[in-house]
Structure 1
Amino acid sequence: MWPLSLASILLLLAALASAQLCVPDCTNMHEGDKVMDPTNCLRFYYCSDPDNNGHPVPSSEPITCPEGFYFNPSPYVKDCDKVDPDKDYCTGLCDPCAIECKEPGTLLPFPRDCHKYLVCLGNNPEPLEINCPDDKPFFDYKTDLCSDDNSLCYNLCDPCKVLCVKKGKVLDPHNCKGYYYCDPPQVAPFECPAGEVFNAQDLVCEASSSGNCTNICEVGLL
């Protein structure tokens, strides 16, 4: 048996698993149906089939429910519904920038660079980073293939947006000396004590030192 090339191994691995990404999903939906914004329980997307080929896609931008309403994804509702303050109505949200390997062989888009993709290998928490070839420089996250069409890029990760998807502290991308407390869908700003900055990895304020206070939206990471 001839040894497999790296490209062949990656293709075989990709056939074993598919990624669960933080994207609005119109699969099996019909024209005019609504689907929840997976990052925000107060918003939804419309579904439409532009080519009438049985493959509806979500609208380019989400729609916000009226004040006092949230989007109820229940199959019996699938519409904006009155908020009940006694019920935990804002759950099951996800962060499109938090790409994690869960199964070996899964191909994942690189959150902020469409020219790359990631391959999950074994139990290694760090995925393999692969560049698309020059003739097909863009990774299509729907087909897990490199393409020459940049309209197929995974473009839902915006590091300058504060996403409140679960309870706890979240980074303020514009202020390294503060953070937000998140209780979906509400966010509350906090400032670290004088002389301290927010450690986004450990989620605590710590003593300021040279180089540990950088606003990520001002260092070319967009």
Structure 2
Amino acid sequence: SAYSMCTFGDECEPNCTGHLNGEEVSDPKNCTRFYVCMPGEMPSDFPFSCPPDTEFQETVGCVPPYGCEPICKGSPACHMTCLSVGDYIADPIDCTAYYVCDISGPSEANHCPGSFPNYDPVAQKCADDESVCCKPGCEPQCEATSVQVPDPTDCTKFYQCYPNPIYPPVSCPDGEVFNIGTGHCDPTAECKAWCSPSNYSKSVSV
């Protein structure tokens, strides 16, 4: 395969197997967060954040950055922002949806049919295999230079790419959220922050 793909439910989920109640395990999607193991070897519903400028290291806790790489980085095949007219882009949350880019940005959502319900952003067609779904990671992903890309944890923020993400993220004006398809803040855009704590327990497909 030309790219790696995470499947939610395996290496992309926190793993408390063999851990005692109260022990902390890493968040596979983000090196600055961790989960607390509950009775029955189950992880907490939501992750906890380390203090600023620290990363989580299992058995140690939050420590100065040590070069951690998230186990689950997501799929590089997640093309979500219009770069040219005629582009097809994926939806980071709804695997059945895709959009066609025109001069003003992405179209209304198109949905794959029930027989081929999953949009494949590599082949740019609908498929029956769920593994083709766009599953973005929790770090900002720059598709090109001089574009703006979403903050996966906060739909009111975005990163500028020159060519890599510039930190810290930029906030949209009050009352606006970042429109992933157009790459700009928009007062009417739908909030899509797939790594915000409120979305951790939600499925990526409908």
The structure that has the greater radius of gyration is 1
User: Considering the TM-score relative to the shorter chain, is it more than 0.5?
Assistant: no
TM-score normalised to structure 1 length: 0.35
* TM-score, structure 2 normalization: 0.37
